[in-house]
Amino acid sequence: MTQAVLVLEDGRVFRGQSYGAVGKNVGEIVFATGMTGYQETLTDPSYSGQIVVQTAPHIGNTGVNARDEESSKVWVAGYVVRDASRIVSNFRAEKSLGEELEKYSVVGIAGVDTRALTRHLRSAGTMRAGIFSGELAKTPIEELLVEVQSAVKMKGLSLSDTVTTGAAYTNPAEGQFVGRVAILDLGIKRSTIEHMNQRGLETVVLPAKSDAATILATNPDAVFYSNGPGDPEAAGGQVEVLREILGKKIPFFGICFGNQLLGRALGFDTYKLPFGHRGINQPVLDRKTGRVEVTAHNHGFAVKVDGGPEVQSPAGFGRVTVSHVSLNDDCVEGLECLDIPAFSVQYHPEAAAGPHDSSYLFDRLVDLIKNNKVAN
């Protein structure tokens, strides 16, 4: 088998076999704790620029199929697994995972002790890493380490332009029409759009660099900021656009990166988590209902809100409450504005993959649109 080597920024080395494309890929290494849903993980644009470690030991046994894709391609920079399935055994499979990784030039490595790797990342934090396979795996580790340490860091990085749509497009509402949602595509997943369409919402998906005038020209009943990769501190343009939208009191909903940008638009800071939240089994408390939800996560940054449970927006948008918190580390998992029609969550209620405990949030968006129409 073709040999491969994983080199971490701090000098830790893991050896294994090539999985997917042969060559090299460098990026930020993170771990995802889901036992299922590897295809949805790979096609989530939020993972752009990252090497993903799957903590589940057996990966690839169900192959891949077009229906489970969350976007048009595989976005991860690299892929690390313990035991890559040698055969595909599922009636829905159209090809093997290895073939899919090779198609999109994703350099992977199998045969790695992912438990040891995950424990290391939990204590040392996320860092840059590189996967080198084939002849490159024979390169002296010292040379590979220099290449890894010279790679771009995720902090301060803007990636929205690399994952957004090239042109605006519209998805029709299903059933009775409720309203139109203008979506700023920062790396949106297909399931998010489907959840809205199924609830009678027409969605107009716009490129990440769209200005407020372009968004308002769609005559939206609500504006939505999607999930996506990168550092929210580097998304100043989208933050300014959002402030203009909030000032007009148009209903707003944000997910993941959208939650971070709402936080910054309201005047709060964001910060990088030590190793992030990635997986489909993360407990979150909804402070309004007292209900604990098991949720899907993929974020390396979070919003910082001091005080509470109710605080004033430093940017002058009135009262804000932290609506959801993580039960693992108490970080902010949701924001709700009390004086303007805006709310957001850090996790993924579309749950692709993952549990559907939080799908009610799309119903909350529908209610917000209906109530705003009545009020105006």
**Secondary structure of 61-129 as H, E, C letters:** CCCECHHHCCCCCCCECEEECCEECCCCCCCCCCECHHHHHHHCCCEEEECCCHHHHHHHHHHHCCEEE
Residue 131, C-beta contacts closer than 8 angstroms, at least 6 positions apart: 4, 5, 6, 24, 25, 51, 78, 79, 80, 107, 108, 109
CB neighbours of residue 64 within 10 Å: 26
Residue 95: exposure state from Cβ atoms within 10 A (0-12, 13-18, ≥19): middle
The two beta strands, 319-326 and 310-312, are antiparallel
- Residue among 195, 277, 324, 348 flagged as catalytic: 348
Residue closest to 44 by CA, chosen among 324, 338, 364, 350: 350
The residue behind tokens 């203009």 is 244
Is 348 designated active site? yes
Residue closest to 128 by CA, chosen among 279, 34, 12, 210: 12
Distance of CA 51 to the CA centre of its chain: 14
129 contacts 275 by C-beta, under 8 angstroms: no
Residue closest to 28 by CA, chosen among 227, 275, 256, 305: 275
Is 194 designated active site? no
Is 58 designated active site? no
Specify the DSSP class assigned to residue 266.
T
- Residue among 256, 277, 293, 324 flagged as catalytic: 256
Instruction: Specify the 3-state DSSP secondary structure of 280.
Output: strand
Distances (CA, A) of 117 to 4, 30, 319: 15, 10, 43
Paired with 162 in beta bridges are none
- Residue among 202, 233, 293, 350 flagged as catalytic: 350
Query: What amino acid positions are annotated as catalytic residues?
Result: 256, 348, 350
